């Protein structure tokens, strides 16, 4: 008689999930309700609001609900996609607070007080700095969903936070959404930001921030495509009292034009283009872009010195430099028809010879060559020697040219005696 072997069964203790391992449900509405209740108690007193937010951070999870917190401070409630406020599913509870930037008075002092609430908050909870940056990048994408007045308030507060260093100008790049740019909202918002920002900080500080974050090179993109030109942007800035930014745009355009011209002239010279054609081309570009002759003279010098592989040995570079420059004196003399252009060229030569140590002893030889080939006049050389030079290598180059200058002075005196 056979006996069946009893099959093994699974048995054991049920493992209970530890409380610390339980994943807490993401519940921004409860967080919102707690903040709104606190604002209810404080009323519109921003000092009390700041104190409440300071202490509430120990009970409420700012790290997890930081975006919701800034939504409330900005718009009074949770922002849904598109810029509308998410409703409260509980009809007995409110979904928004009037203690927010969008409901504040549209004057700078009031908005500064609201910005101060944010500043105090991120100073107390440093991790909220990045959250604020991310929040503004998100909110900028909703600009079309806000009213013009709300956009103006947001722009002013953004400028206040920029001037205080709480955010970086890189956040402005997020305004460049096609639908926002197309409707002209992007450029209107940017102008409002600049108006307030330049009222708080000097132009150099603002431009430095824009350059650091790569915004300066993208200013044109804030204009609709059909209006996208330096002239239109410059006129828009001027019409809104931002002439300092219009001047900056002009200088940047001038810089880009000169950089392009230098490249083109270098290519022509490397291709052995007849010098008369090079001179004609440069004159056409001067006229087209209204370039002054003193800037062109300096540009041509830089071009001539960049198309050669210079010998590293000081004793050999002198002969090489004079031989090279002698070929192109006709090009230089065509654009040194004024004392201003001659002095600009002389100063540029001085700086170049000082910055490139192999040329330290060549300066006087270059000056003499340029004098004999009508690139530089006697008067310009004497003026440079007297008070037209710059500090770079001053003593070295004044001593180098002393005998030549004395010869020029004597020749001038003899000429006056003959007259």
Distance CA 114, CA 100 (A): 8
pLDDT for 27 equals 87
Q: Using alpha carbons, select from 148, 139, 155 the residue that is nearest to residue 198.
A: 155
* Cβ(419)–Cβ(411) below 8 Å: no
pLDDT for 81 equals 86
Distance CA 305, CA 321 (A): 9
| Terminal Cα-to-Cα distance of the chain (whole angstroms) | 151
CB atoms within 10 A of CB 130: 11
pLDDT for 26 equals 82
CA 39 to each of CA 35, 64, 357: distance values in angstroms, whole numbers, following the listed order? 6, 20, 69
pLDDT for 315 equals 80
The pTM score is 0.74
- Most distant CA pair in the chain, distance: 151
Q: Mean pLDDT per segment of 10 residues, for the chain of length 419 residues?
A: 56 53 75 91 89 91 93 92 78 77 94 95 94 94 95 97 95 95 96 96 94 93 94 94 92 90 95 95 93 95 94 86 96 95 97 93 96 95 94 94 92 58
pLDDT for 90 equals 64
Find where tokens 């440093």 sit: 126
pLDDT for 101 equals 95
pLDDT for 1 equals 47
């Amino acid at each position: 008689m056979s006996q069946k072997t009893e099959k093994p069964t699974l048995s054991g203790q049920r493992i209970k999930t530890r409380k610390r391992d339980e994943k807490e449900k993401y519940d921004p509405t409860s967080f919102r309700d707690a903040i709104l209740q606190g604002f209810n108690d404080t009323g519109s007193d921003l000092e009390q609001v700041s104190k409440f937010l300071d202490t509430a951070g120990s009970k409420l999870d700012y790290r997890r609900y930081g975006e919701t917190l800034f939504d409330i401070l900005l718009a009074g409630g949770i922002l849904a996609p598109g810029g509308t406020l998410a409703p409260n599913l509980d009809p007995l509870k409110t979904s928004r607070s009037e203690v927010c930037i969008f409901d504040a008075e549209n004057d700078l002092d009031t908005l500064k007080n609201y910005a101060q609430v944010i500043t105090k908050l991120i100073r107390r909870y440093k991790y909220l700095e990045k959250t604020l940056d991310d929040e503004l990048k998100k909110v900028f994408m909703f600009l079309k969903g806000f009213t013009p007045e709300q956009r103006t308030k947001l722009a002013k507060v953004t400028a206040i936070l920029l001037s205080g260093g709480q955010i970086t100008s890189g956040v402005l790049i997020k305004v460049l959404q096609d639908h926002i740019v197309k409707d002209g909202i992007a450029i209107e918002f940017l102008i409002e930001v600049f108006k307030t920002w330049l009222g708080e900080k000097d132009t150099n500080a603002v431009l430095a921030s824009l350059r650091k974050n790569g915004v300066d090179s993208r200013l044109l993109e804030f204009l609709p495509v059909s209006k996208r030109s330096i002239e239109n942007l410059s006129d828009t800035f001027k019409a809104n009292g931002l002439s300092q930014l219009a001047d900056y745009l002009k200088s940047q355009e001038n810089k880009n034009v000169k950089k392009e011209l230098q490249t083109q002239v270098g290519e022509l010279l490397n291709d052995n283009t007849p010098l008369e054609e090079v001179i004609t081309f440069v004159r056409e570009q001067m006229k087209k872009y209204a370039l002054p002759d003193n800037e062109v003279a300096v540009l041509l010098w830089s071009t001539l010195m960049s198309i050669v592989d210079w010998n590293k040995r000081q004793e050999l570079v002198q002969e090489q430099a004079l031989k090279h420059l002698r070929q192109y004196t006709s090009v230089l003399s065509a654009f040194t028809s004024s004392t201003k252009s001659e002095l600009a060229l002389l100063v540029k030569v001085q700086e170049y010879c000082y910055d490139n140590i192999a040329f330290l002893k060549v300066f006087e030889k270059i000056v003499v060559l340029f004098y004999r080939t009508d690139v530089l006049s006697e008067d310009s050389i004497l003026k440079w020697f007297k008070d037209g030079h710059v500090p770079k290598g001053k003593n070295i180059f004044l001593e180098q040219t002393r005998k030549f200058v004395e010869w020029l002075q004597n020749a001038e005196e003899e000429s006056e005696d003959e007259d």
